[in-house]
Amino acid sequence: MNVHVEREIKFEVSDFKKYEHILSKKAELIQEWVFEKNIVFDYKDNKLEKKGVLLRLRHDNYSKLTLKLPNTSYIESGIKNKIEYEVNVSNFETMNIILNKVGFNVKLEYHKFRKIFKLNNSLICLDIMPFGFFIEIEGGELYNNAKILGLNQESSLDLTYYEIYNIKLKKNRLLKMVFSEEEKLNIKKLLKGVDFL
């Protein structure tokens, strides 16, 4: 089991070309592009969401179960700050069944393609979501590393992807949180060529 304080900010960008160029010169590549499937669980009455708690099952190269709790002892304005408990899971489908059997319901499912760099003491995640391109900076000197990338502090977001999605959904009811099989295949093909973004 892994427990740590998660501190992060996000930025929505139009593409990654400029940022990948900077990161290729100044950062260490931690993980090449990988597809993630995420399932968020809650009770029928949304008890966890009302308390600011997130219970998520994720599958990428591995499967992980994550519990995120509000960090009431240390609040930073403009920065998403959670206490995070995480454990590796040997079987994604079985854990999904277990969580359903003990009373949790699937609140939402979302997909993402993610590439990770390490810049100074922060993880820099390039995320392709069905509703946009985002850079997530986690840990360390968040705003200093954002400045290195040429990102403006005033445009940072301290929201979850679900919260961002709900804001965007008000403007475009056709948005979704999951990729179709065809979209996944097309993105995987494009990601082989770095120039696409």
pLDDT at 9: 95
Q: What is the mean pLDDT of residues 171-184?
A: 92
pLDDT at 191: 86
Closest to 160 in 3D by CA, of 81, 87, 97, 89: 81
pLDDT band at 197 (very low <50, low <70, confident <90, very high): very low
* C-alpha Rg value of the chain to the nearest Å: 17
Q: What is the mean pLDDT of residues 7-11?
A: 94
Q: What is the mean pLDDT of residues 37-55?
A: 95
Closest to 37 in 3D by CA, of 95, 124, 118, 101: 95
pLDDT digits (tens, 9 = 90+) for 87-111: 999 999 999 999 999 999 999 999 9
Q: What is the mean pLDDT of residues 140-148?
A: 94
pLDDT at 94: 97
Contacts with 120 (C-beta within 8 Å, 6 or more apart), sequence order: 140, 141, 144, 145, 148
* Domains (range + CATH), the chain: 2-196 (2.40.320.10)
